Amino acid sequence: MTRILNITRNDAGQHEITDQHGKLVEGPFETNAAAWKALERLDSDSANRPPPRPKSDRQVLWGKPEKGKSKKQLRREQKIDARQQKQMKRDAHKAVGWVRDIASAKFDPQATRKFRDHKLGTFGAASEVKRIDPAAYLAEKAARGER
């Protein structure tokens, strides 16, 4: 004969597993989920299944684990890193000279520390090209004799 099991709530607000006659089978449980888990465990026990194996705390390694680096590989990587650091320092030192020689002469010939914009002008809505008076333009054009 099969047993009919229900999950009910008692007066204390906890969940219990009871049979069809209201007799306590297992419990009380703090949450409904814990009660259902116990009910599933009881159901699987009645079906003569082995209980589920507890999960271990070991992490699953996907693929092969990486091997540790040998002393030779570590020394080689340190040597390459040191060489790259030294080269970067050399390049940075050269860049400072380039900035002083070329960029400062190009953008700041009088060493006023301001960006030289008299050749470049301004662009966009603040541009002088955009503020042309049509009457003045046509008068200049007529004075030059253009049509």
pLDDT tens digits along 58-110: 666 677 767 788 899 999 999 999 999 999 888 777 776 666 666 556 555 55
Q: CB of 8 within 8 A of CB of 15?
A: yes
Judged against a pLDDT cut of 80, whether residue 56 lies above it is answered with: no
91 DSSP assignment? H
H-type helices in the chain, by residue range?
32-46, 71-98, 104-107, 134-144
- Note the CATH number of domain 5-46: 3.30.160
CA of 18: how far to CAs of 2, 7, 45, 50, 140, in Å? 14, 6, 16, 23, 104
Judged against a pLDDT cut of 60, whether residue 114 lies above it is answered with: no
Judged against a pLDDT cut of 70, whether residue 47 lies above it is answered with: no
What is residue 104's predicted lDDT score, i.e. its pLDDT?
Answer: 58
Collapsing DSSP to helix, strand or coil, 61 comes out as coil
Give me the chain's average pLDDT, please: 76
Give the dihedral sign, CA 78/82/83/84. Answer: positive
pTM for this prediction: 0.31
What is residue 108's predicted lDDT score, i.e. its pLDDT?
Answer: 56
Please state, in angstroms and rounded to a whole number, the distance separating the CA atoms of residues 147 and 138.
9
